[in-house]
Amino acid sequence: MNRRRFLPSAGLGLAAVSSVQAQPAAGRLRQSVCRWCYAKTPIEELAQAAAKMGIVAMDLVNPGEWDAVKKAGLTLTIVPGPTTIPDGLNRKENHDRIEERFKTMVAAAAAAKAHSIIVFSGNRKGMADQEGAENCIIGLNRIRKYTEDAGILTVMELLNSKVNHKDYMCDHTAWGVQVMQAVNSPMVKLLYDIYHMQIMEGDVIRTIRDNHQWIGHYHTGGNPGRNEIDETQELYYPAIARAIADTGFQGYMAHEFVPKREPLVSLKQAVELCRV
């Protein structure tokens, strides 16, 4: 399954949605859910069920499904941006094309009242990390005026290059923070994917506490396997969620795990685990 394909298909049926009971507000953290993990669930069913659970937003939704998300009262978070995981901001020759696409995409996001848009560093392809950081800084500085004017947060995602995204450059928090510090915009931050960073460096809670000012969004996921965030894996999400809330974080934390069991039951459990 490709996490960047946002394709609706056959769903679980209305019975699955109706079985999800409405939950209280999500506490100090605003919780979201990633669309691609529930691609077999029709968007209307997923959005309605998520809202009943106390989820307030949805990540990585194709524009064709934006209206259904908004109709359910959810905020659009991390809408698609102008880069791909392997081909991103770390190459200057991409910058003209990225800027042109970004102008159009961020305007559409603003019209839809989206909260945030995603970009990627790109793969190394033999490039030194420092050169790539400098190029990403240049590229982000070219698009920051559009994101600041539109009031749309731009996030660059931290991904692992060990298991899922070989050769990806933005694969350590320190590298991403270096880029964010240089750009130094309140509207340009990191997307800290907890699953990916557990694989690359571990020490998740300390890293979050030390670098929270540069992080604009979080993704969850169980490790190993990117499945449910429960006792079957090595991360303890109640403590992680509490640590994030304790930093005063005002953004969104989105569930990005691939359910191995009944999807909406697993999602509801994740919401409860992260309610602090």
Over the stretch 202-254, which tens digit does the pLDDT of each residue have?
A: 999 999 999 999 999 999 999 999 999 999 999 999 999 999 999 999 999 99
Residue in this structure with the two tokens 């959005």, named with its chain if needed: 47
Give the residue among 67, 68, 76, 74 at the shortest CA–CA distance from 43.
Answer: 68
Q: How far is residue 23's CA from residue 26's CA, in Å, rounded to a whole number?
A: 8
Segment 263-272 mean pLDDT: 97
Q: Assess contact for 197 and 158: CB atoms under 8 A.
A: yes
What is the CATH T-level fold of the domain 21-273, as seen in this structure?
TIM Barrel (3.20.20)
Over the stretch 127-158, which tens digit does the pLDDT of each residue have?
A: 999 999 999 999 999 999 999 999 999 999 99
Q: At what angle do helices 173-183 and 204-211 cross, to 10 degrees?
A: 10
Over the stretch 60-93, which tens digit does the pLDDT of each residue have?
A: 999 999 999 999 999 999 999 999 999 999 999 9
| Upper half-sphere CA count for residue 27 (Cβ side, 13 Å) | 15
Local confidence band at 180 (pLDDT 50, 70, 90 cut-offs)? very high
Segment 22-34 mean pLDDT: 79
Domain boundaries of the chain, sorted by first residue: 21-273
Q: Is pLDDT above 90 for 25?
A: no
Q: Assess contact for 84 and 120: CB atoms under 8 A.
A: yes
Q: How far is residue 212's CA from residue 60's CA, in Å, rounded to a whole number?
A: 22
Local confidence band at 18 (pLDDT 50, 70, 90 cut-offs)? very low
Of 2-16, 159-173, 246-260, the least confident: 2-16
Q: Taking all residues of the chain, what is their mean pLDDT, rounded to a whole number?
A: 92
Q: How far is residue 63's CA from residue 77's CA, in Å, rounded to a whole number?
A: 12
Whole-number pLDDT of residue 86:
98
Biggest CA–CA distance in the chain, Å, is 53
Whole-number pLDDT of residue 26:
56
DSSP bridge partners of 190: 156, 215
Segment 86-113 mean pLDDT: 98
Q: Is pLDDT above 50 for 11?
A: no
Decide: pTM greater than 0.75.
yes
Show the beta-strand stretches assigned E in 21-166: 30-34, 57-59, 75-77, 116-119, 153-157
Other C-beta atoms closer than 10 Å to the C-beta of 40 total 13
Whole-number pLDDT of residue 129:
98
Burial of residue 229 (number of CB atoms within 10 Å: 0-12, 13-18, 19+) = buried
